[in-house]
Amino acid sequence: MGGRSALPVASVEARLDAFESVCDTRPHVVQGDLTDRDVVYRLFEEARPEAIVHLGECPSAPYSMIDADHAIWVQRNNIEGTMNVLYAMRDLAPEAHLVKLGTMGEYGTPNLDIPEGFFEIEYRGRRDRLPFPRQAGSWYHWSKVHDSNNVMFACRIFGLRATDVMQGVVYGTRFFGSSADHPADPALHTRLDFDQAFGTALNRFCCQSVIGEPMTLFGLGNQRRGFLPICDSMQCLTLAVDNPPEAGDYRVFNQFEETYTISELASKVAAVASDMGLDPRIRRIENPRKEMEEHHYNPDHDHLLALGYQPTRDMDSEIRAMLEDLLPHHDRIAAKRDVLLPDIRWDGSRRKSIFLDGSNGAGPEEAAGEPPSVDEPEARAADVDHAVVAEAAPVARR
């Protein structure tokens, strides 16, 4: 996408050294492609794993919406890779536990509470426990739905055991404990993207604030999602691995800490950034996606809590830690500021979104196209009130 990680990524060797110095163990690294079945089988033969944590997928909704090539590549990559893992498990590690990263986005935003994977339903006088309907919002999110179905089926026919983790939107730079406990070595920071496709909302808002660019609220900004810091994501995966299900069981965990609207998040970043002497701004921009901008959202998330998950509740201090980690890399981020504005649209066209106050500051060429439906002055951090911002908009786009 023409971007790069806001935080420099150290070499694999340097990261392994740093990991070893903290954890007293050195992971064995093999580079390969999960869609290459020989690679996967060789890996399983060598490792004979007891648990597999499968994060090896393309994670980006916008990337999958670029065109047919990207949509098909994302589906192939994600579905084929997982199928290879499932067959390698059947043949070489049938007792192992698969912890597979799904996404909360598989469920979409139905006008119902969202259970953890399954629900009891009564229909025409009969009852059953069935998978909760999935209504994904991008080809990427659908690839995860198809994966989930495949993993569920493999558990049924091969007797495998799996935990499908429906993860919310992850943010943060530090993954050991809460940010206060994170070792100082920068080689232990995570990669952090800020481009339109691989940067997630809160990570982008922090990068935008560090370089004085406005935080980009897509549309109304009332889209609500589950969020969790990356250190909690690691905690949840560890809990899942430590507590495997029975053979043949397919279980689903909804993994997030709390739900927030996008404008609530931006307001939080603005408050912390202002406190640190930055000059954060929030602006609403045409939503390049087709998604509900106002909706019910109340997913269950009890399974991980029952296993002992202790959420890092202090989002403000996680945001502060992110800004502290990002500030020294101001120039790295600023040099790539052109990748911040979205231009991948869900209808398949490619055009930079314009700010909803009618200007895009990027030249008349990109401003061409559908006129903005809302005229609203730029909101400054000092007077940002997300409730007011929301009221100013006449229509919720679907």
- Interface residue list for ligand USQ (CB under 6 A): 59-61, 103-105, 167-169, 200-201, 204, 216-218, 223, 225-226, 262, 289, 291
Instruction: Report residue 363 as tokens.
Output: 């030249």
* Dmax (CA) of the chain: 64
Q: SS3 of 217, please?
A: strand
Distance of closest approach, residue 269 Cβ to ligand USQ, in angstroms: 11
Distance of closest approach, residue 283 Cβ to ligand USQ, in angstroms: 10
Q: Measure CA of the first residue to CA of the last residue in the chain; give whole Å.
A: 26
CB distance 262 to 222 below 8 Å: yes
Q: SS3 breakdown of the chain: % helix, strand, coil, rounded to 5?
A: 40, 15, 45
Strand partners, 64: none
- 123 catalytic residue (yes or no): no
Out of 103, 173, 261, 312, the active site residue is 103
Strand partners, 122: 127
- 140 catalytic residue (yes or no): yes
Q: Which of 139, 259, 115 is nearest to 201 (CA)?
A: 259
Q: SS3 of 350, please?
A: strand
Distance of closest approach, residue 20 Cβ to ligand USQ, in angstroms: 29
By beta-carbon proximity to ligand USQ, the closer residue of 216 and 312 is 216
By beta-carbon proximity to ligand USQ, the closer residue of 89 and 197 is 197
Distance of closest approach, residue 397 Cβ to ligand USQ, in angstroms: 11
CB burial of residue 205 (10 Å; 0-12, 13-18, 19+):
buried
Residue 286 CA to residue 342 CA, distance in Å, equals 9
- 144 catalytic residue (yes or no): yes
Q: What is the DSSP string of 234-287?
A: HHHHHHHHHSPPPTT-EEEEEE-SEEEEHHHHHHHHHHHHHHTT---EEEEE--
Out of 107, 140, 250, 309, the active site residue is 140
Across the chain, the runs of DSSP E, i.e. the strands, are: 51-54, 97-103, 118-123, 126-131, 161-167, 169-171, 215-218, 224-229, 250-255, 258-261, 281-285, 379-380
State how far the alpha carbon of 36 is from the alpha carbons of 41, 43, 52, in Å.
9, 11, 17
Residue 256 CA to residue 259 CA, distance in Å, equals 8
Residue 78 CA to residue 74 CA, distance in Å, equals 6
Position of minimal CB gap to ligand USQ: 105
Distance of closest approach, residue 174 Cβ to ligand USQ, in angstroms: 18
**At residue 230, what is the residue type?**
I
Residues with a known catalytic role: 103, 140, 144
